Each structure stands twice: as C-alpha cells, then as structure tokens.
Amino acid sequence: MDQSDSLTTEANFAALSITDLIEARDQYHVFLTNKPNVVATAIGLYRIRIDEKWPTKEEPSLKRAEKPSVDKAARTFSNSEVRPYSWPAVLVFVDNWTEESKLSASEVVPKTLFMQDGRRIPVCVIEAPKDATSNSPAQVQPFDRNLMRGGRPVGTTVQGQERIASIGCLVSDGHYTYALTNKHVTGEAGTQLYSVANGETFPIGTSSGLQLGKVPFSDVYPRWNARGVLCNLDIGLIKIEDVRRWTARIEDIGEFGKVFDLNSFNLTLRLIGAKVTAFGAVSGRMHAEIQGLLYRYKSTGGNEYVCDFLIGASGNETFETHHGDSGTLWLLKTENKPRPIAVQWGGHVLGSHTKLSYALATCLSTACRMLEVEPIADLNLVGDEYWGARGHYTIADKACDVVQNPKLKELMQNNRRNIAIPAEVAIPALTKEPFVPLADVPDMVWKVRSSDAIANRTPRENPNHFADMDRVCPSGRFKGQTLLDICKDPSNVSVDVWIEYYRAVGDKGMGLLPFRIWQGFEEMVAYVRAGDVERFVCAAGVLSHYLGDSCQPLHISYLHDGDPEDLGDKLDRHGNPMPRAAGVHEEYETKMINRNIAEIVQGLKNKLHSLHKLPTIETGKEAALEVIKLMSNTFEKLPPTTILDVYNEDKDSMWEKLGDDTISVMASGILLTAAIWESAWNVGKGDTTINSTRQINQDKLVEIYTDEDFLPSRTLLHVAEVLTPQKVLTPVS
C-alpha cells in the first residue's frame, strides 16, 4: 500500500453521512434551484447509468469522481441504478436535461458542493421521468362488501367536489380504533367519510380531528437543522364506526410485520434502493423502490417544503400512481411479512403539469409518534376474508353430503375442498392465492380480480347474483303485481317478460339470478354427456354460489340495503339522505352469519337430518322454476321488511329473532343445490359417461374458470344467447 494515500486530501465520499448531505443541501438549495430546469432536490445515493462499466482493479470506483465527458445522455431513474459502490450524494432533479455545451458556466449544475470546512459533497443530476397518465381522476378498483381494510377507497364531498383517497392501515390510541389516511381527505373533525363497494357508497366513520399537516423540520428530525423548512406529513385519522367490519389485513397483501421505527438517529441511506410494495384504491397493487430521502420539492414565501420519501420505479419496471392512491400504505419487502414504512400523500407535478412516475410519502413511525397512536396488525385475522363467503361455502359444503346418487356423491365429496372451505377453517386472503374454492369464484374471481390471468366479468357478472322481484308494477299489463306474482305462471319465466317488468318499474339493475341457474344447468348436462368430469365439477361448484344467493331474502328485494322510500338523517357522500336501514345487508348476511356460524352448522345438521326426496329436474327452465319457488318461499319465511324492522329496532337482536328462519332457508338452498347437481348428472347419464370420481387438480380448475368461454356472463338483454337447451359438446376422449 502506498503510504502517501493516508495523507491524501482526496474526499472520501463513502464516509459522508445524512447529516453532511442535509447541511450541504440546506446551504446550496437556493443556489441549485435557481439553475435552469431544476425543480427539486433530495438526498440519496449516486445513480450510475446502467450501460456504464463496473469498476475493476485497474479502474477503481474512486475514479468516477473525476469529471465525466461533456454532453452525456440524460440520466433518468429508468436508465440508472444504485450500485454497491454508489456514494452518498445530493440529488438534483431537472424537468429537461440540457447538454452542458449549450449552457453557460453559471447555468451548469455543479458536480460537487464545497463546504467551508473542506468537505466535498457529490451532486447527482437526474431528469425526472414523466408519466403518460393524465391528472384526471382514475376509476376506483372494483371491491366487494367484505371486511374493510387498508387499500380500500375512502371519500368525502367538499364544496361540491368529490375527494377520493385510500385507507392506509388501522391504528389505535388504546381506546379508539382509527383508519389512517390523508388529512386533505379527512377534513375537519366530524366530517362524514365513505367507502365504495359494488358500485354503492356506505359510511365508515367520521374525521377524528387528529391530523398532521406541515410541521417544522426540526420537530420531526430534532438532530438536524434546516432553516425555514417544513415537512409536509398530510396524515388524518378516521374514527371508524364499527370495528367488527374491519380487518388489519392490507388488500391483496394480507398481514404485515413490525413497523419500521425510523427517526433522526437511525435513518440511513441504506434505505435507498429498498424494494417496496403497496395497494392503492385506484392503481391496485404497486411495486417500486425508495429512490430518495427528504425530498425538497417546493419553495413558497421563504419556506421550503420537504417530504420523507421519494418512491418510484425499480429499474426499467413500470410504475404508475394516480389520484385516489393518496393514503396508501407502503411496505418494505422482506423474506417474511412485509413491514410498513410510509404513507403516500401525493405525486410531484412538474411545470409542464405532467405527473411524474413517483410518489411522495410520509414516514409511518413519525406519524404514529406525533399522533400518539400504534398500528394494529392483528384485528380480525381469523374471521371471514370476504363478505358472504362463509354462507356460500357452508351451503356448498353441506350439499356434497346431501347428494343421493352414490357415484356423484363420491365425486363431490372427493372434491369437497375444491368446492368449499369448511366452517372450522379460517378463510385466507384469497386475492393473493392461486386457487379460489369454486363456491366463491363468482365473487372473488369474476367480480374482483383483474389481471391477464383472470377473466374479470364485472359488471356483466353482477346481475347474476340477485333478482329484485318485490316492487309493484305501476302500469302496463302487469299493473299492481310484483315479479313474484307474475312468475306464478311458468310461462312468464321468460327473458322478454322480465325485461318488460323491469322497464315498467324502472329497475336498471335487471337481476337475472334464475336465468343464470338455467344456463348453468344446461352447461352441466352438456359436460356430463361429453364425459367432461372436470368441467362438470367446476360448473357445479360455481353454480352453488348463485344458489346460495337465491336463498338470501335481501337478494330478492329492492329493499336489499334499506328502504329507499324511508329516508333517515344520515347523508351519503353526495349529500343525499340515506335509507334508514342502510347497512342492513352486511349486518344480516355477513356479520350475523360470521358471528353465529357454529350454531348455523349445528342447526343445518338437525334440519337436514329429516331429508325429503330431492325434486327431479329435466331442463334448464325447470331449474329456473325451482329457484323461483325457493326465492318465493324464502321471501315468505323471511320478508325483507321484517329484517329491516329488526335492524332498525335493535340490530344486536337479529340472530335471536331471525336466526332459526335463516337456518331454514339455508337448508332449503342446500337441498336445491344438491337436487340441481344430481338432476344434471342423471339427465346427462353420468353413471355411464363419467368413470373417474377422483379429486381434480386445482391448476386444471383454475384453467377452466379463467376461460372466458366457461359459463360466460350476460346481462338480461343478452342472456337468451346462452340458454340453448341441451347443448352438445364433443365427448372427452
């Protein structure tokens, strides 16, 4: 070793600390931002162009401090990377890269900042990549009315304008539980906040008034000095209305680990390049990396504004974030559970008003420390993951035992775990599982998921799950009758009659549940005749979902979530009065079922013990007629008006007053499910055409139910196209 190296005055950039970078940036910020095209600064690690050679013994990395050749191509986040030998640097962002040869000496951004005590701080100039996405609001992801969680949308209306953000996570002060999101959405204390599911809005709570806006830098990071600098935290808490409706899981991510506790004593540049993930209510699942710390993005009235994290695309991967993702929780990817680190509050906008492809975020541990709350990671983790799933699985599971044909019974019991999840097993986070049990495919695949691998059928799928049949027709040939009345004549169970009725009562939803059963029955018969046991089991399992819907009274009524003609004092996000019994749907079908599943299972066992002979069904239309009969009996056993009255009087007494009748209608649904399976098997001569009763490979079932041609969804206006009786398929070889 050359001893003269110990005496060199060459700067050791690798030894620079965050304190060094903050001091240098603070001293030079105004100087730098007065340069042409400079829009912001941050601290981080020097980014090296991907096409640049790695250092060797002959050319060590220190030589990269030497002056590079003039007029290099623009450095962007997508064409550069952080390498193991990248040194600490002040990052300078420009909205337009200009070749040095075209700038005067005073206009060039310096490559090194010189401190009075001799320290030298490297400068890394980056052209901020622009996102092709416009600033117009994007559409919220489709969500079902399952348990609320991080990643779900939250909104309110301010001065006639709708503001939408994302829920980050749940936190608690030891007494109350709050949903954490952004201050610019929660507003002042008492503001009503809403979420969206199935295209409908519903209240989730009110603004607590606990919030963080722009805070002096020294209050957030007391070890570091920065003159006239404010941290924009933008954090607000929602005092949630009903903790039982929430889970600590994050949408499509699931459970999370311990929160990273970051402060001025342990915040280091090792976070630069760290891989992070999130789920935004608009953009869905996002993957990115931390690209900068303490991003200084704006100067106004002598004050500088800073955010904790700059998050953007990892390498050349695509990253987009949209309006409505504010409030999203960002988590560090780890070998085990991801660990929360930041809460997004926006994205930077250049002078060209084009949104950059990176997000601005606040350190979660800072927000929790200043608001004196703790993140919640263990709420309702063993409960149902999605509303209605437990009821659907119970009906499908019990139907496997009720089937009477010995060969069919063996087949369905061998595939029981492909069809349903038993009551004693917790339902996992199905949105991240490769396989969804067949009884919940219509909700969890066809109505929720959206990717290249999943056939997302929303909104055509939605009308398959209900049929509002109790509104009185005001005019026409059916004046004074409900659809239940009209369908007492079997000839009126036709697409044309239903369209006529819905148009007369002004029902744009046009639910078609019985016709979906008609379609499914014919498909099952065709699969049995062709000897296609895999598609038969898949169709049977999926069809059990709709049969489960048909024995739920609130799927048959326009009173499905309260009486629209009996308005209460609460307002929706548009300022319109809400039905007095708003929320009854979830309270009855989800919470009541979930809380009493043990009693339901035992009650079903008792009621199914005295089993009557299953009805014989020959055609798809006969299957539809049996479903309407079940719906009518359900309506009589549990009138929706009775459910609304009990809910309004005392929702905690719903099980006591409605539990036994609920078990009865579920038992009827189980019997009809088994009858339709067995009838399709018999019509198709399954004892002859199908040899195997084995358990079917789940990968094969996924291949089937993600095929757009399998049980295709149609609206009432087009469902006749898929009601072809006794369709013929090529026999399986």
Q: How confident is the prediction for the chain on average, in pLDDT?
A: 85
Mean pLDDT of 281-302: 87
Residue 146 pLDDT: 62
Distance CA 733, CA 728 (A): 15
Q: What is the pLDDT of residues 141-169, one digit of tens each?
A: 766 556 789 999 999 888 877 889 999 99
pLDDT category, 379, cuts 50, 70, 90?
Answer: confident
Residue 352 pLDDT: 39
Residue 348 pLDDT: 59
Kindly report which listed range (510-514, 610-614, 667-671) carries the lowest average pLDDT score.
610-614
Mean pLDDT of 526-530: 96
pLDDT value at 12 more than 80: no
Mean pLDDT of 330-340: 91
Q: How many CB atoms lie within 10 A of CB 376?
A: 19
Tokens 């002979």, residue located = 613
Residue 26 pLDDT: 87
Task: Provide the residue count of the chain.
Answer: 733
Helix ranges, 464-589 (H): 483-486, 495-505, 513-529, 533-550, 584-586
pLDDT value at 193 more than 70: yes
Residue 685 pLDDT: 97
Q: What is the pLDDT of residues 243-282, one digit of tens each?
A: 877 888 898 788 899 998 888 888 889 899 999 999 999 9
Among 518, 563, 500, which Cα is nearest to 676's?
518
pLDDT-above-90 percentage for the chain: 52
**143 in Cβ contact with 449 (< 8 Å):** no
Residue 369 pLDDT: 94
**297 in Cβ contact with 40 (< 8 Å):** yes
Residue 145 pLDDT: 57
Judge residue 451's burial from the number of C-beta atoms within 10 Å of its C-beta, 0-12 exposed, 13-18 middle, 19 or more buried: exposed
- Which pTM value belongs to this model? 0.56
Mean pLDDT of 483-512: 95
pLDDT value at 471 more than 90: yes
Highest mean pLDDT among 158-162, 383-387, 433-437, 594-598: 433-437
Q: What is the pLDDT of residues 615-656, one digit of tens each?
A: 899 999 999 999 999 999 999 999 999 999 999 898 889 999
Segment holding 242, helix H or strand E: none
> Residue 435 — φ and ψ, nearest 5°?
-125, 135
Domain-by-domain residue ranges, the chain? 16-56+67-127, 148-375, 394-454+515-722
Q: What is the pLDDT of residues 75-110, one digit of tens each?
A: 888 788 899 889 999 999 888 888 777 888 788 899
pLDDT category, 611, cuts 50, 70, 90?
Answer: low
**249 in Cβ contact with 338 (< 8 Å):** no
Mean pLDDT of 659-669: 93
pLDDT category, 424, cuts 50, 70, 90?
Answer: low
Residue 129 pLDDT: 54
Q: Please determine, looking at this structure, whether the domain spanning 148-375 carries the CATH number 2.30.40.10.
A: no
C-alpha count within 13 angstroms, C-beta hemisphere, residue 376: 24
Query: Which CA distances in Å does 725 have to 190, 401, 710?
Result: 57, 28, 16
Residue 337 C-alpha from the chain's centroid:
18
pLDDT value at 228 more than 70: yes
Of 451 and 312, the structure prediction assigns the larger pLDDT to 312
pLDDT value at 382 more than 60: no
pLDDT value at 437 more than 90: yes
Q: Please determine, looking at this structure, whether the domain spanning 394-454+515-722 carries the CATH number 2.40.70.
A: no
pLDDT value at 298 more than 60: yes
Q: What is the pLDDT of residues 111-142, one digit of tens each?
A: 999 998 889 999 999 887 554 444 445 578 76
Mean pLDDT of 581-590: 81
